[in-house]
Amino acid sequence: MRGMDLRVAITSVQRQAAEKLRAAILAGVFRPGDRLVEADLCAKLGVSRPSVREALRSLEAEGLVTIIPNRGPQIPVLTWTQAAEIYRVREMLEGEAATLCAKHATQADIEQMRVALDLFGKAVRGADSALRLSATADFYGIMQKAAGNSLIDELLRRLMARINFLRAQSMSRRDRAQSSLREMRVILEAIERGDSEGARRAAALHVKAAANAARAVLGGEDVMQEKLRGPEKKARAASSKKNRPARASR
């Protein structure tokens, strides 16, 4: 005990602050467009301002925070164009990872993926959004490692925070989580059979389906339809007011 170093490393505090903020962003505690006030974050996290600033810089590198000159940090508003680029990269990289995984996965890898998928199914049934995200990340993390291509694994891990953010958005759509469970099961079945092309197709279809769900949430079909209905509602309201019989004067 005499020679043991008991000092707390500042980097550990900064890392924990970043992890807490990342989890809060992915859980929807902070929404796109929200400003992040350093003084408030210091109070909530119980850490110093320098630790908060370092945590924010770390999250900026992941694309989860934008630091705007003269305004400070805020949660970026992700446009559909930006999201579509991420989904396109996901489709290419995860498709290749699934292909390689089907060729190289061991029985132990497949069993670990099955455990992660079972956890995901439990999260879907229990409507546990945090467990859904962690189980999905585990499923893909195992697949990427088993693929044996370290560059694909590294690139996807760099995108992990933004992918998880988009997953949270897409799975907020009704029944999307159930559909995602079925799609991931098809991926695993193809990998288990050693069907590399089947695994690629299943992975690509899964990403495309997730993209379609996210598009509606991020300003795609549903939002556009609501915007188009807006003028119609105004026109109907004006017409109704115009045709409404005038009150008799007293």
What is the DSSP secondary-structure string of the chain? -TT---PPPHHHHHHHHHHHHHHHHHTTSS-TT-B--HHHHHHHHT--HHHHHHHHHHHHHTTS-EEETTTEEE-----HHHHHHHHHHHHHHHHHHHHHHHHH--HHHHHHHHHHHHHHHHHHHTT-HHHHHHHHHHHHHHHHHHHT-HHHHHHHHHTHHHHHHHHHHHTTSTTHHHHHHHHHHHHHHHHHHT-HHHHHHHHHHHHHHHHHHHHHHTTSHHHHHHHHHHHHHHHHHHHHHHHSPPPPP-
Of the candidate CATH numbers 3.40.30.10, 3.40.50.720, 1.20.120.530, 3.40.50.11890, the domain formed by 80-221 belongs to 1.20.120.530
What integer pLDDT is reported at residue 220 of this predicted model? 53
| Residues above pLDDT 90, as percent of the chain | 46
Q: Please indicate whether residue 144 or residue 169 has the higher confidence score (pLDDT).
A: 144
What integer pLDDT is reported at residue 82 of this predicted model? 85
What integer pLDDT is reported at residue 200 of this predicted model? 97
Using the predicted structure, report yes or no on whether residue 155 has a pLDDT greater than 50.
yes
CATH fold of the domain at 10-74: Arc Repressor Mutant, subunit A (1.10.10)
What integer pLDDT is reported at residue 232 of this predicted model? 41
Using the predicted structure, report yes or no on whether residue 241 has a pLDDT greater than 70.
no
Using the predicted structure, report yes or no on whether residue 243 has a pLDDT greater than 80.
no
What integer pLDDT is reported at residue 222 of this predicted model? 40
What integer pLDDT is reported at residue 95 of this predicted model? 97
What integer pLDDT is reported at residue 227 of this predicted model? 37
Note the pLDDT tens digit of each residue in 44-97.
999 999 999 999 998 888 888 888 888 889 988 878 888 899 999 999 999 999
What does pLDDT average to over the chain?
83
What integer pLDDT is reported at residue 248 of this predicted model? 44
Note the pLDDT tens digit of each residue in 33-47.
889 999 999 999 999
Q: How much is the average pLDDT of 17-33?
A: 82
Q: Which of 23-37, 184-198, 216-230 has the lowest mean pLDDT?
A: 216-230
Delimit the domains of the chain by residue range.
10-74, 80-221
What integer pLDDT is reported at residue 134 of this predicted model? 87
